[in-house]
Amino acid sequence: MLPMSSDTPLQKCPRCRYSLTGLPDIHRCPECAFEYDKRMVVIEQSAKLSWFLVGMYSVGALMWTSYLAATSSFGWGSLILTVFWFATFLGARQSIRLRNRSKALLWPDGLILLPAQGDFMYYASWDDVSRVEYDRLGGGAKLLAHDGSTLHAVPYDFFGSGRISKEFIAAANRIREQYLTEEY
């Protein structure tokens, strides 16, 4: 079973969300030059933090509305402020939910970690990874090399949820296994 967070085959560029409709299965994104493979399974960071921020905006908007209702002094200034408030809220919701989320991409060749901030990208081939394990102490994941050493640690914050870390680990091990048995 594929993780629920993924749309396979890939519909949008995992980096910039440009639509990949009509483009070849393995190609460069015309928008950001990211080399995608439509078989990539995307596992995204938890949206918990985004919902917390959106919740704060909502409470703020509710308080503002209550204040206006209580003072009954709704003029043009108040209307402009209210519109401005909702525009800010929608903008924040868009940017937080759609763009600033870390992503892990898994596909037959290996895995890529795309952190929410910055251009840094981590890539590992399945040939270099022997297993992906849950890190009991930190709540994140560990990519293990063939000699048992840690090749790369994925901190808890990357997915922001132990459940998503485990979902990532299960999907990574499954896809790696499929690659090795050449089911692809």
Contacting positions for Zn ion (CB under 5 A): 13, 15-16, 18, 29, 31-32, 34
Return the number of the residue (10 or 132) whose C-beta is nearest Zn ion. Answer: 10
* Residue placing its CB nearer to Zn ion in the complex, 10 or 129: 10
Task: Name the residue nearer to Zn ion (CB basis): 33 or 90.
Answer: 33
Closest residue by Cα to residue 142 from 131, 127, 126, 158: 131
Beta carbon nearer to Zn ion, 29 or 96? 29
Instruction: Please report how close the Cβ of residue 147 comes to Zn ion at its closest, in angstroms.
Output: 36
Q: How far is the CB of 133 from Zn ion (least distance, A)?
A: 31
Bridge partner residues of 141 (DSSP): 134, 154
- Whether residue 46 contacts residue 164, with contact meaning beta carbons closer than 8 Å, is answered with yes
Joined tokens for residue 95: 């940017």
169, two tokens: 């680990």
Shortest reach from residue 106's CB to Zn ion, in Å? 18
Torsion of CA 114, 118, 124, 130, to 10 degrees: -70
Shortest distance (Å) from residue 123 CB to Zn ion: 16
Cα-atom radius of gyration of the chain, to the nearest Å?
21
Closer to Zn ion at the Cβ: 36 or 179? 36
User: Considering the complex, what minimum distance in angstroms separates the CB of residue 178 from Zn ion?
Assistant: 26
Distance of CA 1 to the CA centre of its chain: 19
